[in-house]
Amino acid sequence: MNPTDAIGYLAAILTTASFVPQALHIWRTRDARAISLGMYAVFSTGVALWLAYGVLVGSWPVTLANVVTLFFALSILCMKIRYDREPRERRR
């Protein structure tokens, strides 16, 4: 692995891992009121485009990072939609 790829993989790990605490917090509390639906919808679309870009240029760090990031972003987006629709009493 060359140094450039190593930097890419490290950046991918750190930025992708940053979504884990948020996703776990929402999953545990069943509360996503503080999350912006619009922001996560636009962000998820952007990540999907970065994923497509990574595939098209053959960049494994970009591709792998965006596969995992898209999973977490879409998970958060889905929890936002689901938990915002549930009555407060059913969340616990």
What pTM, to 2 d.p., does this model score?
Answer: 0.80
**Three-state DSSP class for residue 34:** coil
What's the pLDDT at 12? 83
Total residue length of the chain = 92
Tally the domains of the chain: 1
Q: Give residue 92's pLDDT band: very low, low, confident or very high (50, 70, 90).
A: low
What is the rounded average pLDDT of the residues 38-65?
A: 94
> In terms of residue numbers, what domain contains 42?
3-91
CATH value at residue 48: 1.20.1280.290
Q: What pLDDT is attached to residue 20?
A: 92
SS3 state at 26: helix
